[in-house]
Chains A and B, each alone.
Chain A
Amino acid sequence: MNKFFTMLKTELKLSFRGMDMVIFALCMPVVVAVILGVIYGNKAAAPGAEYTLSGIPLLEQQVRREISNSFLEQSFGALSTIAICAGGVMGLPLLISDYRQKKILKRYKVTPTSPAFLLAVWVAIYAIYSLLSLILVFGTLSLFFGCRFSGSFGIFLLTYILVMLSMFSIGLMVGGVAPDTKTASVIASILYFPMLIFSGATLPYEVMPASLQKAADILPLTQGIKLLKASSLGLPIESVWMPIVIMLAFMVICGGIAIRFFKWE
């Protein structure tokens, strides 16, 4: 275990020095949260604040406030996946292919370490980013826009970890088998941008036209976000098994391929 933490500590330091994950996994979700908050949030959400929308009766204001807040609250689940997306689909594959191209993996091959150990260390790095981002996004939404968390925190966290592992395994697979950094970055971009935009992570699923929603449903992250929304809002979700099975299938298949076909060089 000591081995794991020594490695994790150094790799995490290197990652912070690299800055890109700090920007894409930590800053970006907060920025998007603030933008959505400004557009959809209600500034009068703070208790006791008077805010008169010209001529609108108080009760209706209350209703509007509720609606806008619930909109932001249901976005929380989606926003919390931006870091997962950045780390898993962008960070992980690029890191692994970069290490392979620089022949760092080749050096590891002549040490008593295993691919599974190295992959676990890297997964842990991006898991830390994702969890930090989760805290930052929730902090931003609750402090500045008065959002509340009405679901079960335990179930939400479990779902979050499931979505995370499932997304990360896609990244591991890409990084594990892509022949070079260039290919890895092309595949990563092809996965990252559509998922970031169309799965509801940044652009809310609810504002998409029905046809786009249908297309988005194919993306595994869309399913994950649905689960996260339901668990963060404490809503019952019908056909909860389907998304879970899809997520698990991605995790097992992609993770398995990543370990089985791992290339040191």
Chain B
Amino acid sequence: MEETIRIKGLSKSYDGKKVIENLSFSVAAGEVYGLLGANGAGKSTTIECVLGTRKADSGSARILGLDPWKDRKRLFEQVGVQFQEVNYPDKIRVKELCEETACLYKHPAAYEKLLQKFGLTDKRNAFVNELSGGQKQKLFIVLALIPNPKVVFMDELTTGLDTKARRGVWKSLQELKEQGLTIFLSSHFMDEVEILCDRIGILKDGGFVFEGTMQEAVGLSPYEKLEDAYLWFTGEEETDNE
């Protein structure tokens, strides 16, 4: 199978403290890969080193066969990114932000359609500031999809969304997956991971404690549910049953 993301021996430390260490994994084309782990386990740092917004101390990252440092412009013509923190200028309207994003790409998707898909059409003239947390999150997913990407990176996909909104986002992503989009996401919600992901990697203290399919994860643990298996792998399972 064709590899979309290939990571080899990625390490990064801040102020002498190792945040991720010797990470290697690959994601096949059309696959949905979930990066799991507690806050501070190194999920965001991993995504940033893969994307090249942080320079890894060692190791290599290739997305679609391209080096995010050397081939930045060519690569990001085909890659959509949604960062954990929302970042946009003050006093910008939804439509303007979409327009400004779309103009950077050679073959952008029609953002009006994406807004419609995520139920934001009636907010197109609203200021981004005035949107609710969930609406903002959806808008940033829209922005990640504007490049018409072959692969999207989503950091903390549905954090801050209510149940209905989360399901809406999942549904949209499943549709995109069916169309062959490769998705790399980080999450700490097991329900979301179970629904969306083909394979997962569980991070603890900057290294993988598990990498493979969810069935494998559950099979390796003494439990039957992914959530329990996840806690078992990360060593956060509750010892007492209250």
Q: What interface size band does chain B fall in? A: 20 to 34
Nearest first, the 3 closest Cβ-Cβ pairs linking A and B are: A6-B103, A103-B87, A110-B81
Partner of A107, one of B74, B77, B83, B90: B83
Asked if A102 contacts B76 (CB within 8 A), the reply is: no
Q: Find residues 35-79 in chain B having any chain A CB closer than 8 Å to their own CB.
A: 51-53, 72-74, 76-77, 79
Q: What interface size band does chain A fall in? A: 20 to 34
Q: Across the two chains, which residue of chain A brings its CB closest to B103? A: A6
Contacts of B105 in A (CB 8 A): 111-112
Question: Which stretch from B93-101, B163-171, B185-193, B219-227 is at the chain A interface?
Answer: B93-101
Give A1 Cβ to nearest chain B Cβ, in Å.
11
Q: Find residues 79-123 in chain B having any chain A CB closer than 8 Å to their own CB.
A: 79, 81, 83, 85, 87-92, 96, 99-101, 103-106
Partner of B104, one of A17, A113, A264: A113
Asked if A107 contacts B87 (CB within 8 A), the reply is: yes
Asked if B92 contacts A10 (CB within 8 A), the reply is: yes
- Chain A, residues 98-121, CB within 8 Å of chain B (1/0): the string is 010011101111111110000000
Given that A3-B103, A103-B83 are contacting pairs, would A114 and B89 also be in contact in the complex, using a CB cutoff of 8 Å?
A: no
Give A101 Cβ to nearest chain B Cβ, in Å.
10
Asked if B83 contacts A14 (CB within 8 A), the reply is: no
Q: Does B201 contact A (CB under 8 A)?
A: no
Given that A6-B100, A10-B100, A14-B92 are contacting pairs, would A106 and B77 also be in contact in the complex, using a CB cutoff of 8 Å?
A: no
Contacts of B103 in A (CB 8 A): 2-3, 6-7
Q: Does A265 contact B (CB under 8 A)?
A: yes
Binding site for B on A (CB under 8 A): 2-3, 6-7, 10-11, 13-14, 17-18, 99, 102-104, 106-114, 264-265
Assembled-state Cα–Cα distance A142/B226 (Å): 78
Assembled-state Cα–Cα distance A135/B79 (Å): 44
Asked if A14 contacts B89 (CB within 8 A), the reply is: yes
Asked if B53 contacts A264 (CB within 8 A), the reply is: yes
Asked if A106 contacts B88 (CB within 8 A), the reply is: no
Selected A-B contacts with CB under 8 Å, 7 pairs: A6-B103, A10-B92, A18-B91, A102-B88, A110-B53, A110-B76, A110-B79
Assembled-state Cα–Cα distance A102/B79 (Å): 22
Asked if B88 contacts A104 (CB within 8 A), the reply is: yes
Given that A111-B76, A111-B101, A112-B74 are contacting pairs, would A265 and B53 also be in contact in the complex, using a CB cutoff of 8 Å?
A: yes
Asked if A112 contacts B76 (CB within 8 A), the reply is: yes
Contacts of A265 in B (CB 8 A): 53
Partner of A10, one of B53, B77, B96: B96
Q: Does B147 contact A (CB under 8 A)?
A: yes
Contacts of A110 in B (CB 8 A): 51, 53, 76, 79, 81
- By CB atoms of chain A within 10 A, which of B83, B91, B106 has the most? B91
Contacts of B96 in A (CB 8 A): 10, 13-14
Given that A14-B92, A112-B105, A114-B73 are contacting pairs, would A104 and B87 also be in contact in the complex, using a CB cutoff of 8 Å?
A: yes
Contacts of A114 in B (CB 8 A): 73
Contacts of A14 in B (CB 8 A): 89-92, 96
Give A121 Cβ to nearest chain B Cβ, in Å.
10
Q: A103-B87, A106-B53, A110-B76 are in contact. List 20 more A-B contacts (CB 8 A).
A: A6-B99, A6-B103, A7-B103, A10-B92, A10-B99, A13-B96, A14-B91, A14-B96, A17-B91, A18-B91, A102-B89, A103-B83, A104-B87, A107-B81, A109-B53, A110-B51, A111-B76, A112-B104, A113-B73, A113-B104
